[in-house]
Amino acid sequence: MNSSQVRYKVVAAAVALAGVTYLDRVCISVLAPSIMKDLRLSQIQMSFVFSAFTAAYAIFEMPTAWWADRLGSRRVLTRIVLWWSGFTMITGAMFNYPSMLLARFFFGVGEAGAWPNAARVFSRWIPAKERGRVQGFFFAGAHLAGGLTPGLVAWIAMFLPWRMVFFLLGFVGIAWAGLWYRWFRDEPRDHPSVSVAERDLIESTRGLPPSHSLDGAWGEVFRTPSVLPLCLQYVANSYGFYFFISWLPTYLMKARGMATGELALFSGLPLLLSAIADVTGGFTTDVLSRKFGVRIGTCSVGGGAYLLAAIFMLAGTLAGDPRLAGTLIAVGGAFSMFTLAPSWATAIGLGGRNTGLLSAVMNTSGQVGGVFSPIVLAFLVDRYGDWSLPLHVLSALYFLAAICWLFIEPRRNPNG
């Protein structure tokens, strides 16, 4: 009996989704100098513009994921992408500080729940033994798009004003949403292209417990013992990520004196290297888990990668040469993203039928770090005039995240 491979097309669609999310998020950091000049925004005001998105994303993440667990990711993801694409366009029409805050807040409202929905899709479409590498490819798509975005946006901005750049990028998400709704189905058995063999393979190896009412989902998720350390380690990941997509270009320009050409390269380098780290992190997690067991395989990748991230980030602040500093910071950021595959694979493993909600709890915790990251940097630099101090804070957070992995059990039934 021939087996179809529709699940890999689902993964490809999800990877494309990840790329679009980062394309729209990262472009504002490149356009920030033009926005600040035209709207007469201070550095601290711009930090709140960055964080307005993250705050809304955090607030609406869990309700949107819970909604998807009830209605399915086909409809909910379509709504998410259409909403955020619309507000990407609207960002280009904003005319002062309050209007920009409002636009970015609603942009965050719309994008909330995108990644937990992707995790939910993987929990239903991907066998458990393939999830580490699948999560790796998913995040690689996001970071590759994010890494290429600074150069792409800088090039487009040579021909178009910053307002038109936002309008142009909004169309990419609208196209994805239309294709997704037309083609995707929430369950493999409902997709017309899935063979009986592939359906049986997925359903027998995805590890979902029998269907049950979701009324008690919230209590079940918050009673899971490993949720707290899982959430705490993810705060460090998002704190660092939002530094890379918000203030890194400004840091490289003001603290390291980089010119425009180098700035585009080193601004995107952390996410470009992260694309490699995402895939290798996923494969490493799967290989070590098969060889040494799920807990050792998963936690050694998570904890070890964060420890290396802390070391490289600190080394980057101490390096005298700007190019060496930019490279070390990028490598540190890439090691932090090496942890994404074990983090999300753990969320899927612990979540079961509540994968959307549990992964949203983890991601929401991360967004708390994302909210504070641009603001803390702006206040520290404004108060002490030292651009290295915020990176020392980030290095310390990575070290604490490594410790968290000592207390995580990545399986719902470790003895089963």
**What is the per-residue pLDDT for 364?**
87
Q: Does residue 414 fall inside a structural domain?
A: no
Check if the beta carbon of residue 295 is closer than 8 Å to that of residue 226. no
> Does residue 216 sit within a domain?
no
What pTM does this model have? 0.74
The answer as to whether 1 is a domain residue is no
* Total count of domains within the chain: 1
* Two structure tokens written together for 164: 């038109």
The domain in which residue 43 lies consists of 6-207+221-407
- Is the sign of the CA dihedral 224, 366, 137, 53 positive or negative? positive
Residue 1: per-residue pLDDT:
46
Record the tokens describing residue 308, joined without a space.
């290396």
* Helix-then-strand count for the chain, H and E: 17, 0
As a whole number of Å, the end-to-end CA separation of the chain is: 31
Residue 415 belongs to a domain: no
CATH of the domain at 305: 1.20.1250.20
Write the DSSP string, 152-198: HHHHHTTTS-HHHHHHHHHHHHHHHHHHHHHH--SSGGG-TT--HHH
CA distance 366 to 235: 4
For residue 50, give every residue at least 6 positions away whose Cβ sits within 8 Å of its Cβ, in sequence order, or none: 28, 29, 104, 242, 246, 374
Q: Is residue 370 part of a domain?
A: yes
Provide the pLDDT for residue 106.
Answer: 94
Burial grade of 315 (CB within 10 A; 0-12, 13-18, 19 or more) = middle
Number of Cβ atoms within 10 Å of the Cβ of 325: 23
DSSP secondary structure of 348-397: HHHHGGGHHHHHHHHHHHHHHHHHHHHHHHHHHHHHH--SHHHHHHHHHH
Determine the pLDDT at residue 255.
86
Residues 6+ apart with CB under 8 A from 368: 58, 235, 238
pLDDT of 211: 53
The residue with tokens 């667990």 is 69
- Averaged pLDDT, groups of 10, the chain, 416 residues long: 79 90 80 91 88 87 84 92 93 94 93 87 87 83 80 87 92 94 94 92 80 60 87 95 85 83 82 87 86 89 96 93 93 94 86 80 88 88 90 96 94 59
DSSP designation for 329: H
